[in-house]
Structure 1
Amino acid sequence: MLTEQRYQIILNEIDRKSLVYVSELVKDLDTSESTIRRDLNFLHKQGKLKKVHGGATALDKFINTKDDLLSTRESLNIDEKLEIAKYAANLIKENDFVYIDAGTTTDLMIEFINEKEAVYITNGINQAKKLINKGLKTYILGGEIKESTEAIIGVEAINTLKRYNFNKGFFGTNGISKDRGYTTPDISEALVKQEALRRTREAYIMADNSKFDEISCVTFGQLEDATIITTIVKDNTYKEFIEIIEVAKK
Structure 2
Amino acid sequence: MKNSKTIVFKRQQAILKALKEKNVVHVENIAQKLNVSATTVRRDLQMFEQQHLVERFHGGAKLLRETLKEEDSALLVQSDKGISQKHIIAKYAASLIEEGDTVFLNSSSTALLILDYLKNTRAVVVTNNGNAIGHNKDSKVELIITGGEVYERKQSMVGDFALHTLSKITADKAFIGVSGISVKGGITTSVLQETAVNEMMLKRCQGSCYIVAANFKIGKEHNFLSGAVEQVSEIITVEGADKEEVKKLKNTGIDIVELANIND
TM-score by length of 2: 0.64
Q: Please name the residue that 2:217 is paired with.
A: 211
* Cα distance change of structure 1 residues 245 and 126 upon mapping to structure 2, 3 Å threshold: same
* Cα distance change of structure 1 residues 145 and 129 upon mapping to structure 2, 3 Å threshold: same
TM-score by length of 1: 0.67
Identify unmatched segments of 5+ residues in structure 2.
1-64, 70-74
Determine the C-alpha separation between the residues in 2 that align with 1:147 and 1:66. 12
Identify unmatched segments of 5+ residues in structure 1.
1-63
Q: Please name the residue that 1:234 is paired with.
A: 242
User: C-alpha offsets along residues 12-41 of structure 1, whole Å, 9 cap, x if unaligned?
Assistant: xxxxxxxxxxxxxxxxxxxxxxxxxxxxxx
Question: Of the candidates 127, 130, 138, which is equivalent to residue 134 of structure 1?
Answer: 138
Question: Of the candidates 163, 166, 182, which is equivalent to residue 161 of structure 1?
Answer: 166
| AA matched with 1:223 | V
| AA matched with 1:247 | L
Determine the C-alpha separation between the residues in 1 that align with 2:193 and 2:87. 27
| C-alpha deviation, 1:115, in angstroms | 3.9
Q: Please name the residue that 1:10 is paired with.
A: none
- Superposed CA RMSD in Å reads 2.3
| C-alpha deviation, 1:187, in angstroms | 2.0
Q: Please name the residue that 2:35 is paired with.
A: none
Task: Answer with 108-117 or 118-127: which moved more.
Answer: 108-117
Highest RCO, 1 vs 2 (Cα 8 Å, sep ≥ 6): 1
Task: Answer with 113-122 or 193-202: which moved more.
Answer: 113-122
Are 1:66 and 2:52 matched, yes or no? no
Instruction: State how 1:49-64 maps to structure 2 within 5 Å.
Output: none
Identity %: 31
Question: Of the candidates 144, 148, 160, which is equivalent to residue 143 of structure 1?
Answer: 148
User: C-alpha offsets along residues 142-196 of structure 1, whole Å, 9 cap, x if unaligned?
Assistant: 1111111111000111111111110111110001121111101222211111111
Instruction: State how 1:19-30 maps to structure 2 within 5 Å.
Output: none
Determine the C-alpha separation between the residues in 1 that align with 2:257 and 2:201. 21
SS at match of 2:173: strand
